[in-house]
Structures are given as C-alpha cells and as structure tokens.
Chain A
Amino acid sequence: MGIHDIIPEYEVLRDPQRCTVCRLCERECANGVHSFNPKTGKMQSDNTKCVDCRRCVVFCPAHALKIVRNEESYRTNAQWDRQTVNEIFKQAETGGMLLSSMGNPKPYPIYWDKMLLNASQVTNPSIDPLREPMETRTFLGKKPHELRRDEKGRLRTDNLPPQLDLDVPILFSAMSYGAISYNAHKSLARAATALGTYYNTGEGGLHEDFYKYGPHTIVQVASGRFGVYKRYLEAGAAIEIKIGQGAKPGIGGHLPGSKIVGDISRTRMIPEGCDAISPAPHHDIYSIEDLRQLVYSLKEATDYKKPIIVKIAAVHNVAAIASGIARSGADIIAVDGFRGGTGAAPTRIRDNVGIPIELAIAAVDDRLRQEKIRDRVSLIAGGSIRNSADVVKAIALGADAVYIGTAALIALGCHLCRACQTGRCNWGIATQRPDLVKRLDPDVGTKSLINLVSAWKHEIMEMMGGMGINSIEALRGNRLMLRGIGLNDRELKVLGIKHAGE
C-alpha cells in the first residue's frame, strides 16, 4: 500500500467478554476477515477486508461482534471526503476503472419521498379493503385497435394480442444467473408462480431446472444473446429485449471467464472459462427501425404468441425513445431509473449517468398520451422501488406495474454491502461458490419473497381504499392523487402534479 493509504471503511469490534472463540465467524466470512491466532488463542480481524455484510454479526452465537463505521479519517473536507481520496489512491495504485455493485448510493433527491397521496373524505367514501372488493389484477400488453363482432353482433374477444396477467402490479426485475445464484433464481421463480406474477431471467439464460416455471418467466434477450435459442424463447411468458439498465446506461457487461463454469457455462451456452461479454449496443440495433426488426424477428420466431418487452435505462431523452419503441411493435416498455441495481458496473457510470425513474415515468407517460399512443404499450417502472408507497406513486404517475430487484434481494437476505462484484456474497445470493450458494435455502427464500409481495399488496389495497379506488386501473396515470411537497415549479411540471395545498 505505502503512500496510497486506503483507510478501511469498517471496524470489527469483538467483545472479549462474550467471544467464546467458537470460530464460527471465521467459517462464515468468505472475505477472510476473521481468523484464529493460535499463538494468542484468540480471534483476530482484518478490517481492510470487511465489507459490512453483517453475516458474522448475525450468526455469532454469543452476540460478540459489532461492525461500525471506521471513524478514522483525513482532515475534514467537504470537497475531498474520505471516499473521494480513497478512490484516487486506488486508481493511482492499480490504473483501473472503479467497479461497484448495486444501485447509486449518492444523496440525489428521492422524488418518491416528495410526493404525497390523497385520501377520500366526505365527498367520496374511502373503501375498506378487508371487507369490500379491492382489485390489483392488471394486464400488460398491447390493446387491440379495432373491435370486431360476430354474425350475431356479439363482440369478438379473439383479437387480443398476447398479454401478461398479473395478480399484483409487481414483477421481479432482471437479475442474471451468473450475477445471482441458482438458489436465488429458484426462490424468485417459485415466488413469482405462487404470487401470480413474473420473474426475469436477466441475460444469463434460463437454467434447465427452471423451464417448468416458464409460464411465470420473462426471458431476456440481451446484447450478448447468451442462452438465446428457440426453446428458450418459447419457454417464457414474454420476451424482454434489454437495451439498457438504470445502473449502467450505455455500456455493456462483463462476467469474467473464471465464473463461467458448470451450470453457468451450460445455461449461457458458452464454453467454460470463456469471458461473457455483453456488448454495449445490440449489434443489430443501431437505429430505431432496427429495433422494429428485432422485435418482429422475435415475434416471428415465436408465432406472435409472446408479448415483447423492451427495457431501457432512463436517460435524458427517454420520452422520445419510448415513443419510438411504442411504434416499433413492442408490447411493453420497461424503464429502469438511475437507482437501479447491478452485479457490477463502473462506479462513475453508476453514480452519474441516467435520471430518476419518477421523472422518467412521468415524462414517458405524458409523451405517449400527447402522441395518442399510450394504449399501444404498457409501462413497467423500475430502479429501486423500495416499498408499497413507491409502487402506488409509480402507478399514479402512469406506470402499469413496477419491477423490483434490490428489494427482492433484501428479502432474500441481502444486506446491501455492495460487494457483489467480488463474488463472495456471504448470504449466498450474488455468488456462484457452492459453499456460499447453499447458505440460501430456497424454501426460506421463496417464502420471504411471497411474504414481501403479499404484504405490499395488502398495503397497496389499503392506500387505494383510502383514495376511494377499488380497482388498480383507476389509479393508473391518476396524477390528481399525488401532490408534491418541497418541489420547485419545474419539478412539479415534469411530474405533472400539483403542490400540496393546491
């Protein structure tokens, strides 16, 4: 290290009165923080390796451990804080681009927390969802332009393009097999099936064992086309073309060859040890009309039986891009805001590129309505949706449904230590090491996900009832149910909402 002295972020505190030297922490920590010193007969810790994943704290039978933020610092400097200095040291040391995981952690404004919901009083009765019908079922897909009738004059219902049918307007976002573990995927697939919604394979292909959850699976076609072949396309309920994601708009991905082993290699259909590189663009989409070609190629390959989703990152001209996508034959547009998570992305891209999903969804919904094409596509919003209130606000802004990724992983036990890129996830989620993967019990994982989404569904129903709404479609795009607080005029305008008190 020498001159580039990187102050460790965390400090491991061990209570010597409580520690029984059982060495469980040593076994649990894949980062090698804890070790037994035979000379002293005591446990010792290497703070430089600690990522604050809290595995040891949770599992220590004596509750002897505490991880705290290391208060050591350089001289206080608002412009050059500790992290900033450390990052320069790292780059001077290695010459490398900084690589991080999960979503943008910087203190940009969170617009969800600056919007308030309505409740009905006097002029409109609120509804009690425990006693009166409260419906969260929604369909994603293109709606037919024409109505047709049979010889008896009855409406024909057979001209509906393919749809996704959701019991609750929450889907599990794309997280590839490779970025997360087999057990994590198994939990997501089984939970999606039980909940009446869908999960997304991400760009790592679909494991053979999970074909049976096909009716609740969205299969992704990303720029690297890993694992994409006819049977894969047919297996899912929908196909998602991944153009971009919120965490790293504009760039591709890279899973090093060391991780391409066994099942990963088989599922991605690439040789073991070969790097899995996802190019920045799809190399058959250099312009909007090319997207149309790709969309129809997938429809042709699957006999027009699957809705096609196009997933984009929320960037500056997201409204115009969405308009183009809506005219390309896509059935659903998924927009991923700048807070979206990832297994690995360059830090600078993750923290500086893209725009908040709240503003993006409002802008996209407005633009599609101005152009009178809003009913050609359904909209899914994603990018760190944290709770059921965020979901309700997203729908009121104009989304048909939301994608959750980070929240789902937290339900599985993720503690947001943001060290996924090391592949040593102690919770068995963002890792392929068999000894770590087995720590995630898919039965427990499935139940946790079902619990989370069910709890959110009940909360959504309570909020809807409070607003006097008993079917989710009446909330979609219903901007009058929102009021801004602490937002300036321009922000209110982009969101298309009034200020509280108006």
Chain B
Amino acid sequence: MVRIDAKGKNFQQLNEEIRVAENSDITVEHCMGQRYIGAGMSGKHLLLLGVPGNALGCYLDGGSIRVLGNAQDQTGDTMNSGAIIVEGSSGDATGYSMRGGKIFVRDNAGYRVGIHMKAYREQQPLIIVGGETGSFLGEYQAGGTIIVLGLNSEGRTPVGNLSCTGMHGGRMILRCRRLPKDLPPQVSAASASKEDMARISGFLNDFCGAFGISIQSVLSEPFFVITPNTKNPYRALYTEN
C-alpha cells in the first residue's frame, strides 16, 4: 500500500501521481476538492480521506474507490466498470450515464441519481443508496438497477419528486411503505416478488458487507420494483411532415 498526500496539490498533479504509482493499493490523504480522481482508472484500489472533488471516478474502468466521508457531484460519471464505495453522502448526478460496475452510497445522494444509466450486454450497472435521494431519481433510465433503501426514513418514501421520468429500461427498487405519488404513466410498479427479493438480497448482502450493516434490519421493510412498461413510449407523439 502506498500513501499519497493530496494537500496543496491541484487535480492534475494529484491524478498524475495516482496514475504513475506502481502499487495498486493507494491511500490518498487530505483530499480537498480535487476533481476527476480515478478518471478512467482500472486495476487500482484507492482509499480517499478528506473531500474528493467533482467527477470522482468518471469513466472508471475497473478497480475500486472508497471514500471515508462524502463525495461531491457527478460521482461515477459515465462509469464503465469497477466499484465506488462512499462512507457518507454523494452529490447530484451520481452515476450519470453509468454503464457498468457499482456505486454504493451509505447515506444520502443528491438530485438526478442514476440519470441515463444504461446496461450493455454483460455490463449491468448498479447503484445502491442507503439513505434518501433528491428529485429526478433514475431520469431516462435505460438499463441497470437502482436501489434506494431509506434506512433512516422510518418507512417514509426515500426519494424526491419526479422519479423515473423517461424510464425506458432497467429497474428501480425502493424500500418503503408507500410508492411515490408522481410516478409517470410509462412505468409499472409492484411489490417485490420472491424472485425479485432473491436477486435483491444478493445485492444487499454486498452493500451491507461494505458498510457493516445488518441485513436483517434492511429486509424488515417492504420493497417495490418499478419497471418501464414500454420500450418506445413516445411513438404516438409525432406525425410525418
């Protein structure tokens, strides 16, 4: 394991150091807002202390990034593979256009989490948020899985307004007693079936293991599964001219 001190370094310097480090196990201390940490990275495992800046793990292509604290906006932007684990909250547009790998956020996440997430062949992206998210969760979702648990929400719906707007692929799983009231007509929502729960438990085991949370407490509340009910919901809107 190698230590890198980020204090006083701008993002270019810091990221260059991380790129050339020969050891694949790297701890970065005193992060304070440096952007693009782990951009396009693969094959390395970063542990970050402090506050990494925007676009953490953008285009991530393998390996892992763990943050002992909060992450900011655009975490995992256009990520292709790998893992980002945040022991805290993340900001807006977490996992924008994510194509593979997984993002686990222990606490809350901001607006537009998982926006335009898409799967491709074996790549099945996954986002799990332990707390609550803001509005526009999963906007334009085209594939993959988004799970929001609301672990401290006492059954309250753990998402903001206008979730799933534009959803046309993949699935969203919410742990709560009541579905959001403003789901768009292009999606269908149902209580999680036994098969659903089997698959979900697999993901949750991974999540709980990452943060030392008991899976029993997670499984104690009901789960809903939301899926799009048509691949091309907007066809009737146009007329040839």
A interface with B by C-beta (< 8 Å): 128, 130-133, 455, 458
Contacts and interface: CB of A to CB of B under 8 A. Distances in A.
Contacts of A128: 166
Contact of B237 (A131, A132, A133, A458): A458
Contact of B162 (A130, A132, A455, A458): A132
Nearest to A133: B162
Chain B, interface SS category: loop
A131 B166 contact: yes
A131 B239 contact: no
Interface of B: 136, 139-140, 162, 165-166, 234, 237, 239
Contacts of A130: 166, 234, 237
Contacts of B136: 132
A364 to B, nearest CB: 33
12 contacts: A128-B166, A130-B166, A130-B234, A130-B237, A131-B139, A131-B140, A131-B166, A132-B136, A132-B139, A133-B162, A455-B239, A458-B237
Chain A, interface SS category: loop
Contacts of B166: 128, 130-131
Give 5 closest A-B pairs by Cβ, nearest first.
A131-B166, A131-B165, A131-B139, A130-B234, A458-B237
B165 A132 contact: yes
A130 B166 CA distance: 7
B112 to A, nearest CB: 10
Most buried by B among A131, A133, A455: A131
Contacts of B162: 132-133
Contacts of A132: 136, 139, 162, 165
Nearest to B184: A131
A131 B234 CA distance: 11
A211 to B, nearest CB: 35
A17 to B, nearest CB: 31
A131 B166 CA distance: 5
A458 B165 CA distance: 17
A130 B238 CA distance: 13
Contacts of B237: 130, 458
Nearest to A462: B237
A386 to B, nearest CB: 14
Contacts of B239: 455
Contacts of A133: 162
Contacts of A458: 237
B234 to A, nearest CB: 6
Given A130-B166, A131-B166, 12 more contacts: A128-B166, A130-B234, A130-B237, A131-B139, A131-B165, A132-B136, A132-B139, A132-B162, A132-B165, A133-B162, A455-B239, A458-B237
A235 to B, nearest CB: 36
Contacts of B139: 131-132
Nearest to B239: A455
A130 B236 CA distance: 13
B128 to A, nearest CB: 23
A397 B162 CA distance: 32
A239 B234 CA distance: 39
A412 to B, nearest CB: 18
Nearest to A458: B237
Nearest to B237: A458
Contacts of B234: 130
A84 B239 CA distance: 40
Contacts of A131: 139-140, 165-166
A435 B122 CA distance: 67
Nearest to A455: B239
A130 B139 CA distance: 11
Nearest to B139: A131
A133 B139 CA distance: 12
Contacts of B165: 131-132
A130 B162 CA distance: 12
Contacts of B140: 131
A71 to B, nearest CB: 30
A157 B234 CA distance: 39
A455 to B, nearest CB: 7
A133 B237 CA distance: 17
